[in-house]
Amino acid sequence: MIGGAGAVSFDHVSKSFGAKQVLRDVSFQVGDGEALCVVGRSGTGKSVTLKLIISLLKPDHGKIWIGPDEVTTLDESGLSKVRRKMGFLFQDAALFDSLTLYENLKLPLERLTDKSSEEMDFDVNRVLQQVGLGNDRHKMPGDLSGGMRKRAGLARALVLEPRILLADEPASGLDRITSSEIDELLLQQKTNHHTTLIIVTHDVRGARRVGDRIAVLDQGSLVAWGPAAEIEQSENEVARELVKE
């Protein structure tokens, strides 16, 4: 594997917590503008993979590139610059309950950019319109439904216009119709903005719809990788079962 050739690259990455090995010698590469969906049974290292990408965790072995930057070697200043290329959609949206929806989205712009108040206002309203919350900017997070909270979390992840969007279980807790709406928003982001997507999910239907490729983790190992149609023919029984609709 050539490090730094894609948007995100893992090169023989392993990670343990005490005696429990969560990832074992995992290698993959996601190209610019591609969507990768990571599936697997609970406890197989899916969310750890996202935390390694954003450098909330460090690998025990192996290297991780975000574009041309090998993040395993960067100091905090370098990591901060790389993280600005990424947005993170948390499973629970992770909104500040004491701030309005508008204020939640404006906060990262205030902290991480030198934009004027008018420019920030434009960006916040643009992204809220994009996710269908243009009329809800003054609502508090507690006033939002589950689906609206997901949309709000996605809006906040997108307000800095990241090149890479990481999403942890975007369909969790949602009905099928609302899940499909979130899938559509993610697809639009990839298609219209060429954003690279890396999505951890248990939603097979969504993974097949959004993902250009699917990575299957089982007991910490990458046991299958490729389009859903290829994984359906995999010799690995777990992989075949996990992509079955």
Quote the domain boundaries for residue 229: 8-85+162-242
Which DSSP symbol is given to 233?
Answer: T
Domain assignment present for 35:
yes
Q: Angle at the Cα of 89 (from 122 to 176), degrees rounded to 5?
A: 105
Q: What percent of the chain has pLDDT over 90?
A: 79
Domain assignment present for 64:
yes
Domain assignment present for 98:
no
Segment 110-121 mean pLDDT: 92
User: Rg of the chain over CA atoms, in angstroms?
Assistant: 18
Which pLDDT score is estimated for 49?
Answer: 95
Q: Check if the beta carbon of residue 131 is closer than 8 Å to that of residue 104.
A: no
Segment 105-117 mean pLDDT: 92
Higher pLDDT, 2 or 212: 212
Does residue 92 carry a pLDDT above 90? no
Domain assignment present for 49:
yes
Q: Shortest CA distance to 166 belongs to which of 14, 46, 41, 44?
A: 46
Q: Shortest CA distance to 27 belongs to which of 49, 57, 58?
A: 49
Which pLDDT score is estimated for 245?
Answer: 72
d(CA 126, CA 130): 6
Segment 4-29 mean pLDDT: 92
Domain assignment present for 103:
no
Does residue 57 carry a pLDDT above 70? yes
Domain assignment present for 117:
no
Domain assignment present for 130:
no
Segment 90-99 mean pLDDT: 85
What is the DSSP annotation of 153-220? Answer: HHHHHHTT--SEEEEE-TTTT--HHHHHHHHHHHHHHHHHH--EEEEE-S-HHHHHHH-SEEEEEETT
Convert the pLDDT of each residue in 80-89 to its tens digit. Answer: 899 989 999 8
Indicate the pLDDT class of residue 5, thresholds 50, 70 and 90. low
Q: Count of domains in the chain?
A: 1
Which pLDDT score is estimated for 42?
Answer: 84
Q: Where are the alpha helices (DSSP H) in 65-166?
A: 76-83, 101-112, 117-130, 146-158
Q: What is the CATH number of the domain that holds 14?
A: 3.40.50.300
Domain assignment present for 102:
no
Does residue 202 carry a pLDDT above 80? yes
Segment 187-209 mean pLDDT: 93
Which pLDDT score is estimated for 112?
Answer: 87
Does residue 237 carry a pLDDT above 60? yes
